[in-house]
Structure 1
């Protein structure tokens, strides 16, 4: 993910910190002398973040594995989780037995891949076909070591409020909404033009804030902030600049509500009509539901989910489970990671949080494609079917070493500036100045 799932702020890698990270790669854990049992108890620590949908699986695993106790820590946002991981990685202490890492961190993770256990030692080759192929490729380092097992991926659809659409005289049926935006040929130009019509009819904003829209625009490009060879790809990137101009035009037209990322006025903006549409990768659906409920709303608040997205298929986010080499119980940790990423567990995670499975067998499971509490909340939308449809054509984009830093520290402030009235050219130039000052590679 570019804006890192539930990300706020992450510090850029300093040279000294990078050196420390590399040094930690030399450490190594040792497995228990004998398998865990009631006579040989083992405590496994797990660190996740955001809404991954895994919490309900821990007790079942403990019940099925006598002697195993799971001590789980969930960090509120992806940005805070990244900071936590980098701090502990640099110190060479404090890392859990199972560490969740985000797609947007992969550049930094792969730079120190030797500090993660090669899961090939624990059966990775036997289950490599479990996942969509590009998810496994993302988790494989330059030495062909599989250092992570995939949990979810983030195909993106459009959340929209049908009550607000009705106010504006726009179609409300999700199929008609998709068609009105262009269906398979939906473009950002059409999305912004429809937003202007909505604005004219209601006087209200079209989307919540520019940052998430920008993130999606970047992720759709064959190459984003980095080229496939690992070099920066921002200055002189015509495709990136053209999309920035479209985004700036939308903000200038008053289409953005300028909401604070990951807050939305403690969810109030989802229920008071502040905006009518929102970018929604699968995992975001659980976030939206939580925000609406926190603000006193419910399934009657009007939110729906459509099988359409401007600019075509894109993936935002997706997480992996790793086993740091500092783990004293790598075999047991690898077994837990295997369990948490099998088809049954991914179905359960989807039902809990809307995290769309990267495991192919789970993608077609009735527990994903059928009705569930999440789909009921979104006006009985066939959430699983829509996400499966939105995943078609997605191609994994290369994430460079400081991809998430660029998204947060370079373009994060720039998109906020757009929402506050700064013109597109000035905001773009300010972003380039920040990029130069950070001296990122």
Structure 2
């Protein structure tokens, strides 16, 4: 199981063995200093991204505005697979692109070898550093004060729900009434599970697709997650996390989980046939939902909507950065491209395509974000940009340790499957996760 963002394209998902395989952890020795080409030399810039970032049209625009530049883009399906790809090439000392997208969940691993990335301050970062929300820039600044990444999106979370399914259960369908149903600004996970129990009693169906995404949100809502701010592990003996796990596993045992495989919803069918009726949605996930529904033959009439509420309060899931590895032979041009892809106009355009909520403050109030677009039309004309801006209030950057993504995917992933399938109760699954934590992280 992986909790990283995924592309909306429908491709075969990796097998369970690949999902839980240990990620490579090597790093390269110092690479040969890169050279900078002139502004008029014909060059090719390589870019590696993952999931759904909404850059395709922006690449075309940049090439049109820069006739000497050709962009060769590679998109990897998940953030976890992108991390493995980066680590493999970093260890080999060759093969990294000019612009490398990095996910928040493994940024800390990148920071451990930050000298293998260009300090963007040398290529204009100091002139544009005020464009981002403060904590986004801080995340991409290493201990030496080097800015190694330009922030793309952030992941404030709201609640996707299917109004058709809610109507069948006798629940409110208007998004404001739904927000109130879940507790409004004071919404708790207890409120969410209580509504879920009512829904199941009325329909006999599950409430959420699987427990992993809920667990991910619960962890991200904490002031400190899998790691403390000082970099020490914060899982074993963490009473708050264990209490949340017990709450989740109890709800799951009552039948509220549809026991779906993360990122595999039967080519979108589970989103259209009432398999589940709620879904946790950071901005970028809205594009995933739309892609899944349309792949299964559905459309806006399928009934998915987006409410300005989230159990447990403000939460951020994901968010990415564009970096320039020192392996790049064209660091200035690569930095210029990264700056373009993350400016206010570009972030607003990407949001309209993929739902990636901007980390640039000026873009958050852009009409392309706050107004109507293809995504908002799909979600019953929900003001998704305005909702996400509201959901972003109170979000703070949680420290992510070097094995944060490993703990999410490989430590708790198997235990999530245990409670969803009913193979283990919550207490047993928690203990199994701690065993894996010791094997994969503590004693690696």
Coarse TM-score class (shorter-chain normalised): over 0.9
CA-to-aligned-CA distance 1:325-351 (integer Å, 9 cap, x gap):
000000000000010000000011000
Deviation at 1:111, TM superposition (A): 0.5
- What SS class does the counterpart of residue 318 from structure 1 fall into? strand
Deviation at 1:10, TM superposition (A): 6.4
Contact 2:403-2:441 at 8 Å conserved across structures: no
Q: Spell out the pairing of 1:343-422 with structure 2 (5 A cutoff).
A: 343-421=344-422, 422=424
Give the corresponding residue for 1:436: 438
Q: Spell out the pairing of 1:176-191 with structure 2 (5 A cutoff).
A: 176-191=177-192
Contact 1:25-1:113 at 8 Å conserved across structures: no
Distance in 2 (CA, whole Å) between partners of 1:345 and 1:10 is 35
Among candidates 17, 24, 29, match of residue 24 of structure 1:
29
Give the corresponding residue for 2:218: 217
Give the corresponding residue for 1:170: 171
Runs of at least 4 residues off by over 6 Å: none
Equivalent pairs counted in the alignment come to: 431
Contact 2:211-2:248 at 8 Å conserved across structures: yes
Give the corresponding residue for 1:47: 48
Deviation at 1:258, TM superposition (A): 0.8
Contact 2:187-2:311 at 8 Å conserved across structures: yes
Distance in 2 (CA, whole Å) between partners of 1:151 and 1:362 is 11
Q: Spell out the pairing of 1:72-91 with structure 2 (5 A cutoff).
A: 72-91=73-92
- What SS class does the counterpart of residue 155 from structure 1 fall into? strand
Give the corresponding residue for 1:6: 6
Distance in 1 (CA, whole Å) between partners of 2:395 and 2:3 is 18
- What SS class does the counterpart of residue 254 from structure 1 fall into? helix
- What SS class does the counterpart of residue 140 from structure 1 fall into? coil
Deviation at 1:79, TM superposition (A): 1.5
Distance in 2 (CA, whole Å) between partners of 1:209 and 1:118 is 40
Q: Spell out the pairing of 1:78-117 with structure 2 (5 A cutoff).
A: 78-117=79-118
Q: Note closer, same or farther for the CA distance 1:98–1:179 as it changes in structure 2 (3 Å cut).
A: same
Q: Note closer, same or farther for the CA distance 1:340–1:395 as it changes in structure 2 (3 Å cut).
A: same
Deviation at 1:26, TM superposition (A): 4.7
Give the corresponding residue for 1:202: 203
CA-to-aligned-CA distance 1:64-90 (integer Å, 9 cap, x gap):
112100000111111111111111111
Distance in 2 (CA, whole Å) between partners of 1:425 and 1:122 is 52
Deviation at 1:381, TM superposition (A): 0.3
Q: Which runs of 5+ in 1 are unaligned?
A: none
Contact 1:30-1:329 at 8 Å conserved across structures: yes
Q: Are residue 227 (structure 1) and residue 228 (structure 2) matched?
A: yes
- What SS class does the counterpart of residue 418 from structure 2 fall into? helix
Distance in 2 (CA, whole Å) between partners of 1:375 and 1:273 is 21
Deviation at 1:6, TM superposition (A): 2.5
Distance in 2 (CA, whole Å) between partners of 1:289 and 1:150 is 24
Distance in 1 (CA, whole Å) between partners of 2:379 and 2:48 is 30
Give the corresponding residue for 1:273: 274
- What SS class does the counterpart of residue 418 from structure 1 fall into? helix
Deviation at 1:409, TM superposition (A): 0.3
Contact 1:51-1:286 at 8 Å conserved across structures: yes
Distance in 2 (CA, whole Å) between partners of 1:240 and 1:27 is 45
Q: Spell out the pairing of 1:198-347 with structure 2 (5 A cutoff).
A: 198-347=199-348
Deviation at 1:391, TM superposition (A): 0.2
Q: Are residue 423 (structure 1) and residue 425 (structure 2) matched?
A: yes
Contact 1:25-1:112 at 8 Å conserved across structures: no
Contact 2:6-2:78 at 8 Å conserved across structures: yes
Contact 2:23-2:84 at 8 Å conserved across structures: no
Deviation at 1:110, TM superposition (A): 0.4
Q: Which runs of 5+ in 2 are unaligned?
A: 8-13
Q: Give the CA RMSD over aligned residues.
A: 1.3
Give the corresponding residue for 2:70: 69
